[in-house]
Amino acid sequence: MALREIITLPNPVLRRKARKVTDFGKEFQQLVNDMIETMREAPGVGLAAPQIAVSERLIVVEFGDEENEEAPQKLYVVANPEITEASEEMVEGIEGCLSVPGLVGEVERHTSITVKGLNRFGKPTRIKAEGWLARIFQHEMDHLDGILYPDRSDKVWKPAPDEEIPLD
């Protein structure tokens, strides 16, 4: 495994629509491992391949139980993710991004979603996500279409030093 550089605006890779993953071989497995290590080191709760200058439809997300902070974190690796169901209910929340350092913004997201895609071995996977987990998935999936959270926000600001924001 190796740490990869997280690119930031204005790098043009962040604004491209990423290509579908079709090869789940050794190189892809290395990419997944590198993304997990990079996300954890950052530290972040999610990372999309375009954030490390790889224009492929791949995300990694690691998040625990909102109700039980002692519960272990759950790791998700999803290639070619798609939202198949989304709640009508929306909620505003504050987001930060490893590719937009030093800023946060209020973003409205679906409160729950269902995501389908392929796991790291190319097998179908389906994830039902609610709350912050749903927000993280939506944020990461936006990266695959060249969308960054400030594009969805009316209010972006520099947070106070003691303001804790989960970063993707």
| pLDDT given at position 160 | 87
| pLDDT given at position 166 | 66
Q: Is 101 exposed, middle or buried (0-12, 13-18, 19+ CB in 10 A)?
A: exposed
User: What is the rounded average pLDDT for all residues in the chain?
Assistant: 94
Q: Tell me what the mean pLDDT of segment 1-9 comes to.
A: 94
Please indicate, yes or no, if residue 133 is contained in any of the structural domains: yes
| Residue 1 banded pLDDT, cuts 50, 70, 90 | confident
| pLDDT given at position 164 | 74
Q: Tell me what the mean pLDDT of segment 67-88 comes to.
A: 90
What's the pLDDT tens digit per position in 55-74? 999 999 999 766 666 678 99
Q: Is 131 exposed, middle or buried (0-12, 13-18, 19+ CB in 10 A)?
A: middle
Q: Strand 112-118 relative to strand 124-130: parallel, antiparallel, unpaired?
A: antiparallel
Q: Which CATH number characterizes residue 62's domain?
A: 3.90.45.10
Tell me which residues are annotated as active site: 140
Please indicate, yes or no, if residue 4 is contained in any of the structural domains: no
What's the pLDDT tens digit per position in 25-57? 999 999 999 999 999 999 999 999 999 999 999
Comparing CA positions, the residue from 60, 49, 56, 71 lying closest to residue 19 is 56
| pLDDT given at position 162 | 81
Comparing CA positions, the residue from 14, 82, 76 lying closest to residue 49 is 14
Please indicate, yes or no, if residue 106 is contained in any of the structural domains: yes
Range of the domain at 92: 12-157
Please indicate, yes or no, if residue 55 is contained in any of the structural domains: yes
Spatial distance between the Cα atoms of 104 and 96, rounded to a whole number of angstroms: 5
In the numeric block, the tokens 């198949």 are attached to 84
Please indicate, yes or no, if residue 43 is contained in any of the structural domains: yes
Spatial distance between the Cα atoms of 10 and 24, rounded to a whole number of angstroms: 30
Residue 9 CA: distances (Å) to CA of 60, 83, 142: 20, 26, 15
What's the pLDDT tens digit per position in 140-162? 999 999 999 999 999 999 998 88
Please indicate, yes or no, if residue 5 is contained in any of the structural domains: no
Q: Three-class SS of residue 141?
A: helix
What's the pLDDT tens digit per position in 92-121? 999 999 999 999 999 999 999 999 999 999
Spatial distance between the Cα atoms of 103 and 99, rounded to a whole number of angstroms: 10
Q: Domain count of the chain?
A: 1
In the numeric block, the tokens 């579908």 are attached to 20
| pLDDT given at position 18 | 98
